Structure 1
């Protein structure tokens, strides 16, 4: 029975990392394909003003890309746990793994916000049912797709370092005492 639990733990890390990478890379590819689909629709451009028909295919691909990015981010953060550093003084005394986890977490959130914002901007540009005119919306979907691929790198780094922090803390505190409130005594 113990061997089964050890084997499960051994395969969890690579499986979660592979899942995050797969979702983010597929999201990146879908974002870039959405940009290609958007560029295939008819448009008229004069300097920075552009009139073009929306692309339903770009809308679907961009939306799927944004959802995969959000799902990969949720998996990395939920399974990785929360490894935050609350102050600059605390940052000086934590392990290198915790520093790496914290910095990866920050960069993961930055790439999530960047990629998700770009993808949603591209999706919204393709959501209307008639021709629209305005400022040029080029490259939103492809930039969002590239941010998805960068997100994979930081999310996997975060998950691996967060798992290492958990292992370090278990080694330092193997028998963590759970404090229970004293029993209630009638007066």
Structure 2
């Protein structure tokens, strides 16, 4: 079995907590000769629709030519976002906390990696006119990439933990009630 086939098998073998719905989606083309992508939604009301609590994407890229920025043949690209209470969205350390949750999730799973990069973006919004009734909103979004070392399963598990943490579900909170949606429909 070649390296990418092994990585695919590892990713597909991960078991997720019951309140995170994960499915395989088409991988973006043109980024690498081989790719596999997953989408995850926290407690979705409907399969295949972004969750009101939080959502994320995990993409494994594989290029045997080992592009120099990757420093290896594999690269993980992940995305996670969740709506927030407006008061939390104004916290000046929010972006730093979001990045630290990713690093902590990787470390807690012993998911070895190098060449990490990314952005954490917080968005505050206020509705006007016909959107005024929606009130104020906030959102956190993390986009990151890194080159994995060793098994891929721990990296997928860390991403799943990050998506849940951004949605307000820390480790060990599986199946605990969540009151109301914090989702803001405008961008």
Q: What is the TM-score with the length of structure 1 in the denominator?
A: 0.28
TM-score normalised over the length of structure 2: 0.28
Higher share of residues assigned strand: 2
- Report which structure shows greater RCO (CA 8 Å, sep ≥6): 1
Rg larger in structure = 1
